[in-house]
Amino acid sequence: MKRKLRKSLVTAVGPAWAPILKYSLPTFQEYAEAQNYDVIVEQIARDSADWHSERSRSARWSKPQIIKKILKNSDIVVWFDADIIICRYDEDISSHLLNGAFQAITMEHVPSENRVNPNMGVWVIRRCQEAFEFLNAIEEAGLQPGPWTDQGTILKILGWERGDKNYFGARPGLGNKYLLDTSWLPIGWNQPFIDRPDIGEVWSNRPIEKFPHAVHFMGMRNINERTRTMVKFYKSLSSKPVLNKKITPTNKHLTKPINMVPLG
pLDDT of amino acid 238: 59
Tell me whether residue 199 is in a domain.
yes
CB contact burial 93-111 (16+ within 10 A = b; e otherwise): bbebbeeebbbbbbebebe
Return the CATH number at 164.
Answer: 3.90.550.10
pLDDT of amino acid 195: 77
Tell me whether residue 243 is in a domain.
no
pLDDT tens for the chain, 264 residues: list them. 667 899 999 999 988 888 899 999 999 999 999 999 999 999 888 887 776 777 777 778 899 999 999 999 999 999 999 999 999 999 999 999 999 999 999 999 988 899 999 999 999 999 999 999 999 999 999 988 888 889 999 999 999 999 999 999 999 999 999 999 999 999 999 999 877 666 666 666 778 888 899 999 988 777 888 888 899 888 887 554 333 323 332 333 333 333 332 222
pLDDT of amino acid 196: 67
Tell me whether residue 177 is in a domain.
yes
Please state, in angstroms and rounded to a whole number, the distance separating the CA atoms of residues 51 and 193. Answer: 17
CA 57 to chain centre: 16
Tell me whether residue 185 is in a domain.
yes
For residue 207, give the nearest of 107, 85, 79 by alpha carbon. Answer: 107
Tell me whether residue 68 is in a domain.
yes
Tell me whether residue 207 is in a domain.
yes
pLDDT of amino acid 39: 96
Please state, in angstroms and rounded to a whole number, the distance separating the CA atoms of residues 254 and 243. Answer: 7
Q: How many domains does the chain have?
A: 1
Q: Identify the domain containing residue 144 by its residue range.
A: 7-238
Tell me whether residue 75 is in a domain.
yes
Tell me whether residue 256 is in a domain.
no
pLDDT of amino acid 194: 79
